Amino acid sequence: MSASETHQAMGRAERPLMGSLTLSSILRTAPDVCSRRRTSDLDGQPIASQSDRMNDWIDQAMNNGVVVRQMHQSVRLPDPTGVTGNVNFDDGAKKLTVTSFLSANSIRSTDSLDRNQIDWCSSNNSTPCALQNISVPLLITGMGAYYFFPDGEQYYLKYAASLDKEFIIAAGLVHGITPCGNCPGGPYNNQVTNYWNYVFNWIRVRFGT
């Protein structure tokens, strides 16, 4: 809906629709609205608007167990299998109530592609907002064969208030903490063990065993 259409709709809000109903009463009682379903995820595709390259030197756990500090670029491969699902209603839409959409599935922004123009605390489901209010030791891990790690970098550098914080990328792992079998730079056959050993030792140093 355009700005002019929205203004017109607001002006009609109290005009009777369908007999005694008004637009505002429909909005108050509407059982659900539709939004993009989680699985309809354009970020999963190699598109220009979503960067897979880190902006800073960051620790990376390698398959041989060595941790190196370097710039990182994802080794993930394009996955075209979601295209069919994205264009149908079952996978391309998400059924929400008005309340659940406004409280946890939407966020206010001036420019949604510019992190500095997003009001992170306008949603109940915002990691950047929550991290600004967390002070305990924090470990953020990124998977080197997936596309979430640029977010992890921003969480670590810009939003995390914890004084004791760390961000590390596990080379060659995908989102489920399993190795990518055919990604460049492999094999990554030791990475699951390396990952959990790293997490265990991080916890042990701070909290004991």
Interval 134-143: pLDDT, tens: 999 999 999 9
Query: d(Cα 119, Cα 141) in Å, to the nearest integer?
Result: 24
Domain ranges, ordered by start, for the chain:
31-207
Residues of the chain predicted below pLDDT 70: 1-57, 90
pTM passes above 0.75: no
pLDDT in tens, 35-57: 444 444 544 444 333 445 555 66
- Strand 33-35 versus strand 94-96 pairing type: antiparallel
